Amino acid sequence: MADLHILRQHTLGLADARKVAFKWAEHAEEELGMRCIYEEGKTVDEVSFTRSGVHGTLSVTKDKFELQAKLGFLVGAFKARIESEIIKNLDDLLTPKPKLRAHAKPHISKSQ
């Protein structure tokens, strides 16, 4: 069995971190075929995830995400690839997106 441990610090606070964790769980279910159970806590939320050959948890607090997973023998052969995909996905979710500015209406001058 191979183990994964990924830790990411953030400054989102628990409410916004919870939103990111929900998105992560949705992605894990839709794209990776995971079964996720989300449990909200007062100071820590936990996403338990599982599928054939993989099980683990994503713990979410006001200042960090910590993922721990166990990979079965067959899946463990792809540990590096799985780890890089999880890191990329989590980092993408944690990267602030630029807010789109509303374009000002152009000023139209009339010739007289």
CATH number at residue 57: 3.30.160.110
- In a domain, residue 109? The reply is no
Quote the domain boundaries for residue 32: 2-94
Q: Locate 6 and state its tokens.
A: 């990924």
**How many structural domains compose the chain?**
1
Query: Residue 78 pLDDT > 90, yes or no?
Result: no
pLDDT tens digits, residue range 20-32?
A: 999 999 988 998 8
Query: Residue 110 pLDDT > 70, yes or no?
Result: no
- In a domain, residue 83? The reply is yes
- In a domain, residue 110? The reply is no
- In a domain, residue 30? The reply is yes
- In a domain, residue 105? The reply is no
- In a domain, residue 71? The reply is yes
